[in-house]
């Protein structure tokens, strides 16, 4: 395959393992009795137990270092995977890391606020600031930027999920990686299914596949907002990412959001998510998480059961990681 676009023109610091595996889910496919399912294992990116944010951080941290930053500040929920991986990337590169974590999930028990990702944040040496809500988080970020300047340092701020056009470059690159793997495996997938919240992973994949003229459909399973708000966010970020790549934005009809797996709220378990976790664990030895990949897999299972994917189709589940959060859910 000859790439039309060279993402290597942008600064990048290699932090993760790659290419991540592309594996068949033979027992799950047989159990569901429908399409042939595969999994793209971005839970295997390596850095501090892996996950999709590593690909974004390779570009975000390179940009920060080029700008002379000695401190990284980011935000995310108390059990944020992005925060954990940002802390790990900063530790690897010798940067100070400030994590501002608003309480986005209606829980304040000790299990949720001491275990899982939060335990790892402290282990990785990050300075952790748990605050009441998003408004308090914004105020604390401003304070930390000012504090950094007063001590003679320079801060780089990454928004929640690392979802900027620069961060999305990690998934522009990942789109080409997947196409090369599909060619090597001689599979022709009809659909990719991936969790989406802040939108960077989906925006990057949409842009990357468009840059290489791939007809593969991508479905983002909304796990933070409703479908309309998620779609608006992804469209805007995909446009910014395409502009960075000096390319037209992906067409709006390419942005397909599944909005019926969110449940009552972000981070709250659902029956379908629990079934998805159990099926993948017991049939494939594949561990999902309760906030992102579990709900995304529930969306894929539903597509198969409703026959939106035919038995002759091939579909790829993009595993975004997040397993440390399991230990905060009990």
- What's the first-to-final CA gap in the chain, in angstroms? 45
Q: Is 80 tagged catalytic? A: yes
SS3 labels along the chain: CCCCCCHHHCCCCCCCCCCCCEEECHHHHHHHCCCEEEEEEHHHCCHHHCCCHHHHHHHHHHHHHHCCCCEEEEECCCCCHHHHHHHHHHHHHCCEEEEEEECCCCCCCHHHHHCHHHHHHHHCCCEEEEECCHHHHHHHHHHHHHHHHHCCCCEEEECHHHCCHHHHHHHHHHHHHHHHHHHHHCCCCCEEEEEECCCHHHHHHHHHHHHCCCCCEEEEEECCCCHHHHHHHHHHHHHHHHHHCCCCCCCHHHEEEECCCCCCCCCCCCHHHHHHHHHHHHHHCCCCCCCCHHHHHHHHHHHHHCCCCCCCCEEEEEECCCHHHHHHCC
Catalytic residue among 29, 36, 80, 197: 80
Q: 123-132 burial, b if ≥16 CB within 10 A, otherwise e?
A: ebebebbbbe
What amino acid positions are annotated as catalytic residues? 80
């Amino acid at each position: 395959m000859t790439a039309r676009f060279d993402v290597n023109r942008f600064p990048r610091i290699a932090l993760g393992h790659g290419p991540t595996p592309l594996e068949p889910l033979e027992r799950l496919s047989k159990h569901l009795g429908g399409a042939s399912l595969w999994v793209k294992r971005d839970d295997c990116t390596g850095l501090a137990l892996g996950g999709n944010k590593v690909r974004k951080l390779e570009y975000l941290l390179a940009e920060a270092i080029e700008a002379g930053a000695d401190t990284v500040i980011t935000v995310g929920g108390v059990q944020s995977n992005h925060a954990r991986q940002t802390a790990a990337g900063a530790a690897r590169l010798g940067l100070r890391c400030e994590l501002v974590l608003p309480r986005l999930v209606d829980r304040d028990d000790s299990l949720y606020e001491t275990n899982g990702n939060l335990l790892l944040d402290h282990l990785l040496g990050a300075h952790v600031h748990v605050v009441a809500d998003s408004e308090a988080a914004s105020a604390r970020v401003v304070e930390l930027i000012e504090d950094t300047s007063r001590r003679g340092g320079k801060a780089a701020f990454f928004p929640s999920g690392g979802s900027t056009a620069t961060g999305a470059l990690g998934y522009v690159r990942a789109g080409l990686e997947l196409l090369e793997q599909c060619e090597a495996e001689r599979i022709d997938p009809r659909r990719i299914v991936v969790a989406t919240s802040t939108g960077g992973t989906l925006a990057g994949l949409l842009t990357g596949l468009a840059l290489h003229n791939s007809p593969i459909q991508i479905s983002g399973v909304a796990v933070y907002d409703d479908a309309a708000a998620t779609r608006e966010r992804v469209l805007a970020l995909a446009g910014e990412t395409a502009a960075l790549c000096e390319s037209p934005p992906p067409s709006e009809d390419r942005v397909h959001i599944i909005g019926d797996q969110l449940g009552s709220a972000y981070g709250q378990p659902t029956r379908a998510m629990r079934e998805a976790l159990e099926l993948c664990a017991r049939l494939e030895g594949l561990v999902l998480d309760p906030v992102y990949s579990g709900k995304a897999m529930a969306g894929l299972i539903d597509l198969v059961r409703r026959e939106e994917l035919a038995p002759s189709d091939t579909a790829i589940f993009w595993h975004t990681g997040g397993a440390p959060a399991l230990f905060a859910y009990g």
